[in-house]
């Protein structure tokens, strides 16, 4: 694996994190913790793995991405802006009245957003439908869905997982951002979804466990998923909530709280 490519993606991930802190801090609201934990995954998807760009956004053969945990919209907006889907100036208007960048992504208003998500649990069903459509239309695109570990408490996730396994959707990849925390605390205290990998396996999925803040492991997992035939792939990515900002790391209170001006400055120093 090319070390220069890995370094490039790591730089992109740091930029995504800086953009997340800037936009959430300016708006005074948003979800920084789970956006920061997913930055390495998103950078790997948008700047290496996926066949998806502003140039092919209408191409029926493009890869699809669904942010199932829609509250982590800041990391999606940062990825789309840095990829060139819209002007980065838009990031200054997160959650403002009449801004296209609302608290959850809107496919009608934001270029590059494939699915309007926010009601937890629904995104994986979107992705399953896209994967089924690709098969019926004889397309060879791939579908990627990013799930939260707390989101796995939603029953609809497992209905979608059952359908994906039943239809052998080997061009579907679900990535679980497994940071261990949700808005009310540890997932194991609120409503444990453990054992996560075994549950997906029971529904007919191939599973891969990785450290989700390690770009090399992320890219290796995507390559393994491409080689997997006859079943969908679930990547269980162990991450750190608030990754990259020391005072936010592994703290549930930063799930949905915006940093103040002083905290933004402190976070930017960590992300320099």
All domains of the chain in start order, with CATH: 3-270 (3.40.50.970)
Q: Is 15 exposed, middle or buried (0-12, 13-18, 19+ CB in 10 A)?
A: middle
Mean pLDDT computed over 208-222:
98
φ/ψ (deg, to 5) at 228: -75, 130
Residue 131, pLDDT score: 98
Those residues whose C-beta lies under 8 Å from the C-beta of residue 9, and which sit 6 or more positions away, are 40, 43, 44, 47, 48, 215, 219
Residue 14, pLDDT score: 98
Task: Write down the mean pLDDT value for the chain.
Answer: 97
Residue 21 pLDDT greater than 80, yes or no: yes
The SS3 call for residue 11 is helix
Beta bridge partners of 67: 146
Q: What percent of the chain has pLDDT over 90?
A: 100
Residue 195 pLDDT greater than 90, yes or no: yes
Residue 8 pLDDT greater than 80, yes or no: yes
Mean pLDDT computed over 185-201:
97
Q: What percent of the chain has pLDDT over 70?
A: 100
Query: Cα–Cα distance between 19 and 38 in angstroms, integer?
Result: 13
CA distances from 270 to 11, 114, 159, 227, 266 (A): 14, 32, 41, 37, 7
Residue 1, pLDDT score: 76
Residue 196, pLDDT score: 98
Mean pLDDT computed over 35-64:
98
Cα torsion angle, 260, 266, 267, 272, sign: positive
The SS3 call for residue 206 is strand
Residue 33 pLDDT greater than 80, yes or no: yes
Note the pLDDT tens digit of each residue in 109-134: 999 999 999 999 999 999 999 999 99
Residue 198, pLDDT score: 98
Of the pLDDT bands very low, low, confident and very high (cuts 50, 70, 90), residue 55 is very high
Place of tokens 């199932």: 68
Largest CA distance in the chain: 53
β pairing state of 181-182 and 185-186? antiparallel
């Amino acid at each position: 694996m090319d070390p220069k490519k890995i370094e490039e993606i790591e730089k992109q991930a740091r930029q995504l994190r800086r953009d997340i802190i800037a936009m959430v801090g300016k708006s005074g609201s948003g979800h920084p913790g789970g956006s920061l934990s997913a930055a390495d995954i998103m950078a790997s998807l948008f700047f290496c793995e996926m066949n998806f760009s502003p140039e092919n956004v209408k191409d029926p053969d493009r890869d699809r991405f669904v942010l199932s945990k829609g509250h982590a919209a800041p990391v999606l907006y940062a990825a789309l802006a840095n990829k060139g889907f819209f002007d980065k100036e838009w990031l200054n208007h997160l959650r403002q009245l009449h801004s296209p960048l609302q608290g959850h992504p809107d496919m009608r208003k934001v270029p590059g957003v494939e699915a309007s998500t926010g009601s937890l649990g629904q995104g994986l069903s979107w992705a399953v439908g896209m994967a089924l459509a690709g098969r019926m239309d004889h397309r060879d695109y791939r579908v990627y869905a990013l799930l939260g570990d707390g989101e796995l408490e939603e029953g609809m996730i497992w209905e979608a997982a059952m359908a994906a396994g039943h239809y052998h959707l080997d061009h579907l990849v679900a990535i679980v951002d497994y940071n261990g925390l949700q808005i009310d605390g540890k997932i194991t205290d609120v409503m444990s979804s453990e054992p996560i990998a075994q549950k997906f396996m029971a529904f007919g999925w191939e599973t891969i466990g990785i450290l989700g803040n390690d770009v090399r492991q992320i890219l290796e997992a995507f390559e393994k998923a491409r080689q997997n035939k006859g079943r969908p792939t679930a990547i269980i990515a162990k991450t750190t909530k608030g990754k990259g900002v020391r005072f936010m790391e592994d703290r549930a209170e930063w799930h949905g709280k915006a940093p103040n001006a002083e905290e933004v400055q402190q976070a930017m120093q960590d992300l320099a």
